[in-house]
Amino acid sequence: MASETKDYSRYFDFSDAVVSEDERGKRIRIGGREIFIMSEPNYRRERQRGKEEVRVLYEEAVPEELRSFGKGKKYLIQTYGCQMNEHDTEVMKGLFEQMGFEWTDERREADVILLNTCAVRENAEDKVFGELGHLKSLKLEKPELVLGVCGCMSQEESVVARILQKYAYVDLVFGTHNIHRLPVLLRDAYFGKEMVIEVWSKEGDIIENLPKKREGMRAWVNIMYGCDKFCTYCIVPYTRGKERSRLPEDVIAEVRELARQGYREITLLGQNVNAYGKDFTDRDYRFADLMADLSKIDIPRIRFTTSHPRDFDDRLIEVLARRGNLVEHIHLPVQSGSTEILKRMGRKYTRESYLELVRKIKAAIPDVVLTTDIIVGFPGETEEQFEETLSLVREVGFDSAFTFIYSPRAGTPAAEMEDNVPMDVKKERLIRLNELVAELSKRANEKLRGQVVEVLVEGRSKNNPNVLSGRTRTNKLVHFEGPAEWIGSFVHVRVTDPQTWYIKAEPVRQETGAVS
Ligand code: SAM
Ligand code: SF4
């Protein structure tokens, strides 16, 4: 149950509070605070999938007059949720820095603090509201601080209504389709005394050329935005809009540039990467074509996340089986092992078709590592149906899995279903599932004992500065002793002591530069 019993979505009607209205938006007053609403979230519109064309715009996101706006000022972004949000944060960092702002880790030093939020499960939302509560005292001490909320939560009517009513000290709320508008919104929030809200409910155009501030040797590259799958439990299609693919030439140019800059690994991002290209009207070009084209670029490793079993076609398997820089790790969320539950989740595949897909992948790529996402305690899930999940997990032999207790999301079809699985049963199922995943992970790692694997060295281990850590092509975490100069390069190590969630190893030889 929601910790807040009030349903704020029913309260997003502030017509009584309107002070003035013009073509830019409306000004309202709540509890003494003026709020400027340029556009507000609207669930009904977020559900719609229009046929209107998505334009690709190549614009300067930071207007000339705002290029030194942030001089002498510091910013901090706190990021919650998935890689998509992490990458959005990189874009916002790029925008801040083009405006002259400097990053700080210290809240007290910050002139702007943004919370880039996640709405996928309720506990993610609770964390953000908790954080906003903590930030209140800082805001009281330092009224000139600009405090903003962005990301998936700001696309929800209920969240924005709750912020208006209970967190009136927030200065800025903007949505996932408004990120490129950050410079102007920030200026408005800075100079005005009112809270500024701009949340577009209809996805906008694809904006290219946004600056990005990346760190390390691994880079994320968005290949598409949004999701049209509408799984019945999931809020993402509402918060991220309809599927829109970036043009292949833009993606390829970005990856080429990353290769030129010396990045060692890229991860292609999308809610549903293998639906890439389905929305193109002027060409027949799909995810497999993109992977084939990217495999020719001189960048050592290419990953992708997340792929949907429904759109995983034979051609993609055939391209991935060519390997080279396409790694042999596939994250393939199954969600449940019961065909009946999958049907009610709206996943549009069955237990059997998922297992058949896995069989085909393993036949083409025998050493492939498969990982997955699973939800336990979906409304109406019986003990037998849960056991079908356990047996599927065993049959596939996943190397690891992200496992979740079902969390009802207001506005989604599953939230209307009778949630008759008691919380203690859900928790107990999660524990049993996690025990099985740990057993399989340990077993898979054990098979690597004595083998030599290639590791991209990412940095020092968090727990021991003498130990380096990195990842294999299959995304397994490896720890071994070695000099700091190896950070950023590929090293071959022999597995000496496999653990459940990581592997201990010793170096056998060092190789810098690209590995084919
Ligand atoms: N697009 C990806 C896919 O289809 O697999 C996943 C995106 S979602 C951000 C990541 C994971 O969160 C999902 O795979 C699912 O397991 C989990 N998830 C989504 N909605 C959930 C909910 N209402 N309750 C619990 N887990 C949820
Ligand atoms: Fe959510 Fe399903 Fe889309 Fe993944 S495919 S983002 S789980 S609706």
3-state secondary structure of 121: coil
What is the distance in A from the centroid of ligand 2 to the CA of 144?
A: 39
Establish whether residue 240 lines the binding site of ligand 2, counting it when its CB lies within 6 angstroms of any ligand atom.
Answer: no
What is the distance in A from the centroid of ligand 2 to the CA of 134?
A: 32
3-state secondary structure of 57: strand
CA-120 nearest atom, ligand 1: 20
Can you give the pLDDT at residue 205? 82
Tell the burial category of 104 from Cβ atoms under 10 Å away from its Cβ (0-12, 13-18, 19+): middle
What is the distance in A from the centroid of ligand 1 to the CA of 234?
A: 6
The pLDDT profile of the chain, 516 residues, written as one tens digit per residue, is 344 445 555 556 777 788 888 888 888 888 788 899 988 888 778 878 877 778 888 878 899 999 999 999 999 999 999 999 999 999 999 999 999 999 999 999 999 999 999 999 999 999 999 999 999 999 999 999 999 999 999 999 899 999 998 999 999 999 999 999 999 999 999 988 889 999 988 776 898 889 999 988 999 999 999 999 999 999 999 999 999 999 999 999 999 999 999 999 999 999 999 999 999 999 999 999 999 999 999 999 999 999 999 999 999 999 999 999 999 999 999 999 999 999 999 999 999 999 999 999 999 999 999 999 999 999 999 999 999 999 999 999 999 999 999 999 998 999 999 999 999 999 999 999 999 999 999 999 999 999 999 999 999 988 888 899 999 999 999 999 999 999 999 999 999 999 999 999 999 965 544 333
Strand partners, 510: 491
Can you give the pLDDT at residue 22? 85
Sequence-distant (≥ 6) Cβ neighbours of residue 193 within 8 angstroms:
34
Q: How far apart are the C-alpha atoms of 241 and 238, rounded to whole Å?
A: 6
What is the distance in A from the centroid of ligand 1 to the CA of 255?
A: 27
Q: How far is CA 181 from the centre of its chain?
A: 20
Q: How far apart are the C-alpha atoms of 363 and 312, rounded to whole Å?
A: 15
Residue 188 near residue 196 (C-beta atoms within 8 A): yes
Name which of 416, 443, 428 is nearest 390 in CA terms.
Answer: 428
Tell me the best of 335, 373, 389, 398 to mutate to test the pocket of ligand 1, counting ligand atoms within 8 Å of each CB and taking the most.
373
Tokens encoding 516? 């084919």
What is the distance in A from the centroid of ligand 1 to the CA of 404?
A: 8
What is the distance in A from the centroid of ligand 2 to the CA of 220?
A: 19
Name which of 243, 202, 237 is nearest 222 in CA terms.
Answer: 243
Establish whether residue 409 lines the binding site of ligand 2, counting it when its CB lies within 6 angstroms of any ligand atom.
Answer: no
Can you give the pLDDT at residue 8? 56
Can you give the pLDDT at residue 41? 87
Q: How far apart are the C-alpha atoms of 438 and 162, rounded to whole Å?
A: 39
Residue 429: CB atoms within 10 Å:
22
Detail the DSSP E strand segments found in 201-280: 206-208, 218-222, 224-225, 244-245, 265-269
Establish whether residue 476 lines the binding site of ligand 2, counting it when its CB lies within 6 angstroms of any ligand atom.
Answer: no
Peptide bond into 306 cis (omega under 30): yes
Can you give the pLDDT at residue 32? 81
Q: How far apart are the C-alpha atoms of 51 and 333, rounded to whole Å?
A: 29
Residues having CB within 6 Å of any atom of ligand 1: 82, 120-121, 233-234, 236, 271-272, 306, 308, 333, 335, 373, 375, 404, 406-407, 409
Residue 159 near residue 119 (C-beta atoms within 8 A): yes
Can you give the pLDDT at residue 5? 46
3-state secondary structure of 467: strand
Can you give the pLDDT at residue 24? 85
Q: Which amino acid is at 44?
A: R
Residue 123: CB atoms within 10 Å:
12
Tokens encoding 215? 């760190």
Q: Please, what is the angle between helix 287-294 and helix 248-260, to 10°?
A: 30
